[in-house]
A and B are shown apart, each in its own frame.
Chain A
Amino acid sequence: MKAAREFFRKSGFASWLDPRTALTAAMLAALALVPVYAAAAGEPFALTLFTRIVIMAIAAVSLDLIMGFGGMVSFGHAAYLGIGGYVVGILWKVGIASGLVQWPAAIAISALFALVVGTLSLRTRGVYFIMITLAFAQMVYYVAQGLDRYGGDDGLTINQRSSFSGLIDLNNNTVFYYLCFAALIGSVYLVSRLVNSRFGLVIQGARSNERRMRAIGFPVFRYRVVAFVIAGALCGFAGALNANHTNFISPAIMFWTRSGDLMVMVILGGLATPFGPVIGAVVYLLLEEALSRVTEYSGLFLGPALLLVAIYLRGGIAGFFRKNTP
Chain B
Amino acid sequence: MLYFIEQCLNGVQLGMLLFLLAAGLTLIFGIMDLVNLAHGSLYMLGAYFAATFAAVTDSFVLGAVLALVVTAAAGMVLEVVAIRPLYGRPHLDHVLGTFGLLLFFNELVRLIWGPAGMTLSLPSEMLNAVQILPGLYYPLYRLVIILVTLAVAALLYLVVMRTRLGMLIRAGASNREMVGALGINIKLLYTLVFGLGAALAGFAGLMQAPILTVQIGMGENILILAFVVIVIGGIGSIRGAFVAALIVGLIDTLGRAFLPDALRAVLSTNAALTLAPALSSMSIYVLMAAILVIRPEGLFPAASR
Contacts and interface: CB of A to CB of B under 8 A. Distances in A.
A257 B285 CA distance: 17
Secondary structure at the B interface, as helix, strand, loop or mixed, is helix
A267 B95 contact: yes
Nearest to B293: A120
Interface residues of B, number: 48
A298 B95 contact: no
Which of A123, A131, A148, A311 has the most chain B CB atoms inside 10 A of its CB? A131
A136 interface: yes
A314 B101 CA distance: 18
Interface in A293-324: 297-300, 302-307, 309-311, 314
A194 B29 CA distance: 35
B302 to A, nearest CB: 11
A263 B37 contact: no
B101 A142 contact: no
B292 A121 contact: yes
B288 interface: yes
A222 interface: no
A303 B101 contact: yes
Contacts of B93: 267, 310-311, 314
Interface stretch (B14-22, B105-113, B206-214): B105-113
B181 interface: no
Contacts of A75: 95
Given A146-B279, A302-B100, A132 B86 contact: no
Nearest to A135: B285
Which of A143, A300, A302 has the most chain B CB atoms inside 10 A of its CB? A300
Contact of B94 (A135, A257, A305, A310): A310
B130 interface: no
Contact of B103 (A134, A135, A302): A302
A146 B275 contact: yes
A48 interface: no
Interface in B216-249: 220, 224, 227-228, 231, 235
B91 A310 contact: no
A255 to B, nearest CB: 8
Which of A127, A135, A304 has the most chain B CB atoms inside 10 A of its CB? A135
A260 interface: yes
Interface string A28-50: 00000000000000000000000
Contact of B292 (A73, A128, A299): A128
Nearest to A266: B92
A299 B220 CA distance: 15
Given A260-B99, A310-B100, A297 B111 contact: yes
B256 to A, nearest CB: 12
A96 interface: no
Contacts of A263: 92, 95-96, 99
Contacts of A135: 228, 285, 288-289
Contacts, number: 144
Nearest to A149: B274
Contacts of B288: 131-132, 135
For chain A, give the interface size range: 35 or more
B91 A264 contact: no
Given A264-B96, A307-B97, A128 B296 contact: yes
A306 B296 contact: no
A298 B96 contact: no
B6 interface: no
A127 B35 contact: yes
Given A142-B281, A148-B274, A263-B96, A300 B108 contact: yes
A153 B55 CA distance: 34
A283 interface: no
Interface string B69-108: 0000000000000100110010111111101111111111
Contacts of A126: 91
B285 A136 contact: yes
A256 B217 CA distance: 12
Contacts of B159: none
A136 B286 CA distance: 8
A314 B88 CA distance: 13
A307 B277 contact: no
A138 interface: yes
Given A130-B91, A303-B100, A310-B97, A136 B107 contact: no
B298 interface: yes
8 contacts: A125-B296, A131-B228, A132-B292, A138-B282, A142-B285, A143-B278, A256-B224, A299-B103
Given A73-B91, A257-B220, 17 more contacts: A120-B289, A120-B293, A123-B296, A131-B227, A138-B285, A146-B278, A260-B37, A267-B95, A267-B96, A299-B107, A302-B104, A304-B100, A306-B100, A307-B97, A307-B100, A307-B104, A310-B100
Closest 7 pairs (CB-CB, A-B): A146-B278, A306-B100, A303-B104, A310-B97, A299-B107, A303-B103, A299-B103
